[in-house]
Structure 1
């Protein structure tokens, strides 16, 4: 009887937990079993491991093999445990030196020919391994670039099982091992991106987009088809500053779990996610059968979630956005437990004024019935819109706007946004917040930051009449501070407060 062990990582959401993989070989009828709450893919690992070891010309004795994945109470999902299970079995049978693999994390799926194939979630797994003190991680070659993003960990890319066995034997004998080069990752986003100068006219909408970018505010645009709502939304990521390294690692980890990273580099630009209006609840919020996967709101973490034709989305899907908008996280509950994903995104909503989109001005060209006109935008509930800082109507582009020439480029506007964010970061440097859009309203109403009563008189009056909720009151204050930051003022003035209140104009069809 012989024992062998190594380590792997179980990823739940984007959080990893170190797993000890123990293998016991002994006499008895041929059997290969796995304990420790494996899912279907993990429970099928013995078939892949047995074939991979045999086809790699390594000894695979027909004996009783038991593999335990500890902690046993933690669910193990996916085929990423294949390599660790194979290494533990080979260590138990003394095919590889046990001391060379005992403290090493092994990640990867095995092909029947012994090749080590890529798996999703390698980045959060390596982050968890590094946090637990692991210093060597063996990964598939295809996942080496993302694993190398983690500092303080030696990443060993391997192409097949036989190569890994040779490496372990050479290290045990004291021989020099030439490391396999890590593939150079590709850039994730084009540095240029769509330019704001391509948008004709729409001065008010452009100003609202700049304010949204500077303060991290949510934005809703209502206007006819062809007015430029989608073009404006697509250009918001180009106005946002680059992500910090911790933010970039968090964003990249979500894409790694989804298997969308491939050979791309660290995602250090704000992502832009625009799901179709027919998307399901699990596609937007997260979930799914079997393994819980991040939804669109988590893919848009630290970036922009754009819902075009928002009245066409299911109402329950739209209402489910309310909690993540407040907390910046989403919790998906399942029978086996709860999974948390980050969901700190900027929400951009776009909609036509009615189903046919022609209800502009007098609405003479509109073909919608009065009932359709009243109910089309009613799917945007008051509680959801109350969480949207900027709400404006986008008018059709005029001929004069076409002749006026291009407006400011994204680079120029992004420069002002960066300066405004620096002012915010300096102002809130003693707190956990860095932008106005995330600052609690209670803080802005405290004595140190409270604006004079003369400047908030109209705002106070709106709250007293009930036309503005306390949440809306706080959001107007946040926008006012952002407008002041863009203008280079230390504190917002009365005009900034009035402008912020005006840019929160409720949509009449919804407020009715």
Structure 2
């Protein structure tokens, strides 16, 4: 007897429906085909124990299971439940008249309990697209899948519940989530607030500009100046995620199993801070069977690289293309996957190995040659892709001891959001450009026009600082953002001057 049940495989951030065909014939043997990996090949042991502990068994017959399409590699243990239910229906141990209306996924424990799976959200999206009535999966992932409207989602604890549902019609509890209500309920502010930062008014201004235009930023300063503190508070002033951004972000985190059980939709912008020992594959994604890396997990959020020169040079260099294209493509012999990676890069670094400027009063100093050698660990092309370079100086005692609270993240966020709304309106015709940092050459010519005096100012800066064409574009983009924060349509000299001063690393002798 031949029966078909349905599961799903995730490639990149999209899912593909897998048809599991179970054929039972006279003879003996258990044959699993269709490019399964080792985790799936071992499933017959888990299935046998789970069925036996729930009053069923794998009969002593010839069972052939094909996972179609057969030329597509299947990975992971989440097909256990799919295979187990298929075997029970094909061997007439349970009724399965409606089994083709449901997509079934989940890893089995030996007692029949279900373990959480990865990729529930993209699988649910695909199930709805292909017209499935419902999706049966582990209870831990039910909220995540229930984000998708128009699909009945049933979270289950044990295989016995699924058996009773198909065999005797015992109802399963449907997980229902009002996606919009859930999303807006969780739009609270992160625990870190800019009011905690003493002094550093110019750096706060710089971070506000970066947040308003989505610009990459690097903070350079001695230890204890507040670089990490400022970076951790950047997400608190970024505009709230739109529902579309939240769905995109949740889908990526779902693929790697990072969505928390009690939260369906991610409402907070991600903030990722990998250690400097990270490999290039872990940063950009990949592996023999590709998975998203840190830059994709930072999509629509912030990637913070603390102590930038401590990262391996080859690790930093692989970020060049994703920083420009805002997506990363990983190619293998048989397939290619693309992960979105539209993130804000925030980096911090000391100006020298000792951590201090060339200051005779510092506890440890470094020579100009040592400083230059240390800074040269960061390549010019990578620095070109960072829009804003800012020096962070230590906070004097008077400001540290001042008990008055600074401006809160809520107040800064209002100005940032107002500037982003201007940009959203400006780029409403474009599908790929949403804020100033994403502008291409066409939009630069259209929205960053300069008068004669401003053009002369920029020309002088370009010649004196020996800036590249890419740095020219970055200055214009930052100028456009400064003008947007002021609500001004035309870029003037003051906007341009402020943007030019945020190119510290381009200035010869900037360390003094």
| TM-score in terms of structure 2 length | 0.92
Deviation at 1:140, TM superposition (A): 0.7
Is the partner of 1:150 in helix, strand or coil?
Answer: coil
Whether 2:439 is the aligned partner of 1:443: answer: no
Which of 190, 193, 196 aligns to 2:191? It is 193
Corresponding residue number in structure 1 for 2:490 = 491
> Is this contact kept in 1: 2:461–2:500, CA < 8 A?
no
Which of 179, 184, 193 aligns to 2:173? It is 179
Map Cα deviations across residues 315-357 of structure 1 (whole Å, 9 max, x no partner): 0001111111011111233444333222111000100111111
Q: Equivalent residues in 2 for 1:262-301 (5 A)?
A: 262-265=260-263, 266-288=265-287, 290-301=288-299
Q: Equivalent residues in 2 for 1:46-57 (5 A)?
A: 46-57=44-55
Q: How far apart in 2 are the matches of 1:287 and 1:189?
A: 32
- Size of the alignment, in residue pairs? 504
Q: Equivalent residues in 2 for 1:309-324 (5 A)?
A: 309-324=307-322
> Is this contact kept in 1: 2:82–2:104, CA < 8 A?
yes
Q: How far apart in 2 are the matches of 1:355 and 1:463?
A: 30
Map Cα deviations across residues 356-388 of structure 1 (whole Å, 9 max, x no partner): 112254576444355432211111111000000
C-alpha root-mean-square deviation of aligned residues, in Å?
A: 2.4
Q: How far apart in 1 are the matches of 2:476 and 2:439?
A: 10
Is the partner of 1:251 in helix, strand or coil?
Answer: helix
Corresponding residue number in structure 1 for 2:68 = 70
> Is this contact kept in 2: 1:35–1:68, CA < 8 A?
yes
Q: Equivalent residues in 2 for 1:360-399 (5 A)?
A: 360-361=358-359, 365-368=363-366, 371-399=369-397
Is the partner of 1:344 in helix, strand or coil?
Answer: coil
Which of 33, 36, 43 aligns to 1:35? It is 33
Corresponding residue number in structure 1 for 2:475 = 476
> Is this contact kept in 1: 2:143–2:175, CA < 8 A?
no
Which of 282, 302, 305 aligns to 1:304? It is 302
Q: How far apart in 2 are the matches of 1:190 and 1:485?
A: 25
> Is this contact kept in 2: 1:389–1:475, CA < 8 A?
yes
Corresponding residue number in structure 1 for 2:324 = 326
Judged with a 3 Å threshold, the aligned counterparts in structure 2 of structure 1 residues 353 and 465 are, in CA distance, closer, same or farther, namely closer
Q: Which runs of 5+ in 1 are unaligned?
A: none
Judged with a 3 Å threshold, the aligned counterparts in structure 2 of structure 1 residues 403 and 490 are, in CA distance, closer, same or farther, namely farther
Q: How far apart in 2 are the matches of 1:305 and 1:352?
A: 18
Corresponding residue number in structure 1 for 2:214 = 216
Deviation at 1:47, TM superposition (A): 1.8
Whether 2:145 is the aligned partner of 1:151: answer: no
> Is this contact kept in 2: 1:140–1:158, CA < 8 A?
yes
Deviation at 1:34, TM superposition (A): 1.3
Q: Equivalent residues in 2 for 1:79-90 (5 A)?
A: 79-90=77-88
Corresponding residue number in structure 2 for 1:101 = 99
Is the partner of 1:354 in helix, strand or coil?
Answer: coil
Q: Which moved more, 1:469-478 or 1:299-308?
A: 469-478
Map Cα deviations across residues 214-254 of structure 1 (whole Å, 9 max, x no partner): 11000011000111100110000000122112211121122
Is the partner of 2:244 in helix, strand or coil?
Answer: helix
Corresponding residue number in structure 2 for 1:410 = 409
> Is this contact kept in 1: 2:152–2:174, CA < 8 A?
no
Judged with a 3 Å threshold, the aligned counterparts in structure 2 of structure 1 residues 507 and 453 are, in CA distance, closer, same or farther, namely closer
Q: Which runs of 5+ in 2 are unaligned?
A: none
Q: Which moved more, 1:178-187 or 1:236-245?
A: 178-187
Is the partner of 1:138 in helix, strand or coil?
Answer: strand
Corresponding residue number in structure 1 for 2:434 = 434
> Is this contact kept in 1: 2:276–2:307, CA < 8 A?
yes
Corresponding residue number in structure 1 for 2:135 = 137
Q: How far apart in 1 are the matches of 2:192 and 2:465?
A: 41
Deviation at 1:301, TM superposition (A): 0.9
Q: How far apart in 2 are the matches of 1:490 and 1:8?
A: 53
Which of 233, 236, 240 aligns to 1:235? It is 233
Map Cα deviations across residues 107-152 of structure 1 (whole Å, 9 max, x no partner): 1011122222211111121122222222310011111111111111
Is the partner of 2:202 in helix, strand or coil?
Answer: helix
